[in-house]
Amino acid sequence: MALARRLDQHMWRFARSGRAHFAVPCSGHEAIGAGYGVALEPGRDFLAPHYRDLSAVLAFGLTARDVMLHFFAKAADPCSAGRQPYAHWGSRRLGIISLQGPQPNHVSHAVGVAWGSRLLGEDSVTWISFGDGGAQKGEVHEAMNFAAIHRIPCVFCVENNGYTQSVPIRLESAVAEIWHRARGYGIPGVLVDGMNAEAVHEAAIAAVGRARSGEGPTLIEARCYRYLPNTSNDDDSRYRSREEVEGWRQRDPLIVLRAQLHAAEADAIEEEAETIAAEAATWALEQPDADPGTIYEHTYA
């Protein structure tokens, strides 16, 4: 969580100062990715992350250097070799299902991956996270319906930060309780405090266990808040007050976590996170740029 926050801060500064294309902040969402990330087994399970789940992909084995290579779209970007903008993580080796642009198309892909695991006789669970905005699309209905019918071994997690970029949830859904939708599919629905890693972890353990034992999917709604604008191209002052943002700052997931640790321990973690993040950013910036000669590669096998 601390490393995700520090990387987020570095990326935000690079993008806002014009030294990188595009930043997609995760600040405020860290507890969710960390909470479920450690409930899964990298190498066994699959992860279809929300694009704010930097903490989850770090938990799954992507390193700070990997993240920064991807962020700068360098030749060695392990997620896309310079082809996708930041936060489109993916790694076949690590079981991170490549994240695409149109939200939330990965929900269908992940249901297919989860179903495929069962067809292959493996007991992998696939975690699927997406935003409250993505939750409104027909894509999610079709995928959840299919997963529920066939008890596909997966978990659906809606990360509800109250906004779809600028549009508040009340204009996205007449029902504020997204987790209530689970009843319509005949699967369990769970509401959890997404600012509290422990709470998310507990819900994740239960949902993953249920999926692994063949009982089918669970829908988790994790409530959280995004502290920074939607992306480095967004201006959130046009649609939400500073007072509202500051109010949520009091519930910062890193503050919640710090309260569960000794101060010295927390300080050491923060310091180490900053060292790793700064080193990764400096190192990645110096790596070879992408080679335009490779644009013809990988359209077909």
Partner 1 sequence: MPEERRLTLLEAIREALADEMERDSRVVLLGEDIGRLGGVFRATDGLLDRFGAGRVVDAPMSELGIVGISVGLAMRGLRPVAEIQFADFIHAAADHLIGEAAKIRYRTAGDWTCPLVVRTAYGGGFRGGPYHSQSVEAYYSHVPGLKVVAPSFPADAKGLLTAAIRDPDPVLFLEHKGTYRSVSGLVPAGEHVEELGKARVVRPGDAVTILAWGKMVHESLAAADDLAEEAVHAEVIDLRTLLPTDRGTIVASVLRTGRLCVVHEDSRTMGFGAELAAMAAEACLDALKAPPLRITMPDIGGIPVADEMEDAALPGRSRIVAGVLELVHRAGGRYARPEFDPAIPEAASVMEVAMRREHLEQVMAAVESVCADFPDLNAEFRWDGIRRHDEVRFDLDLGRRAPAAGGGTFTIIDYGEGSSLLGIPAVRPGQTAALRVGAVREGKSWLALTVDHRAVDGGTAGRFLGRLKAAIESGGGGL
- By CB under 8 A, name the binding residues for partner 1: 46, 79-81, 83-84, 88, 90-92, 97-98, 100-102, 105, 107-117, 119-120, 138-139, 142-143, 145-146, 149-150, 297-301
Residue 31 or 47: the one with the smaller Cβ distance to partner 1 is 47
Q: What share of the chain is helix, strand, coil (3-state, %, to 5)?
A: 45, 10, 45
Q: How far is the CB of 163 from partner 1 (least distance, A)?
A: 23
| CB closer to partner 1 out of 184 and 247 | 184
To partner 1, the closest distance from the beta carbon of 121 in angstroms equals 10
Residues 6+ apart with CB under 8 A from 282: none
Question: What's the distance, Cα to Cα, between the start and end of the chain in Å?
Answer: 38
For residues 33 and 8, is the Cβ–Cβ distance under 8 A? no
- Least spacing, CB of residue 12 vs partner 1, in Å: 24
Closer residue to partner 1 (CB): 22 or 248: 22
Query: Which residues contact residue 137 at a Cβ distance below 8 angstroms, ignoring those fewer than 6 apart?
Result: 103, 104
Minimum distance from CB of 72 to partner 1 (Å)?
15
The answer to whether the beta carbons of residues 114 and 95 sit under 8 Å apart is no
Which H or E run includes 192? Answer: strand 189-193
Q: What is the dihedral of CA 186, 188, 191, 195, to 10 degrees?
A: -120
- Cβ proximity to partner 1: between 58 and 111 the closer is 111
Is the Cα torsion angle 149, 137, 183, 98 positive or negative in sign?
A: positive
Give 27 or 108: the residue with its C-beta nearer to partner 1.
Answer: 108
Residue with tokens 């087994």: 41
Please, what is the minimum distance in Å from the beta carbon of residue 175 to partner 1?
22
Give the single-character DSSP code of 113.
Answer: H
Q: What is the DSSP string of 23-70?
A: ----TT-HHHHHHHHTTS-BTTBEEE--TT-HHHHHHTT--HHHHHHH
Residue number, 61 or 112, with CB nearest to partner 1: 112
Q: Which is nearer to partner 1, 151 or 258 (CB)?
A: 151
Smallest distance, partner 1 to C-beta of residue 263, A: 42
CB of residue 212 to partner 1, shortest distance in Å: 16
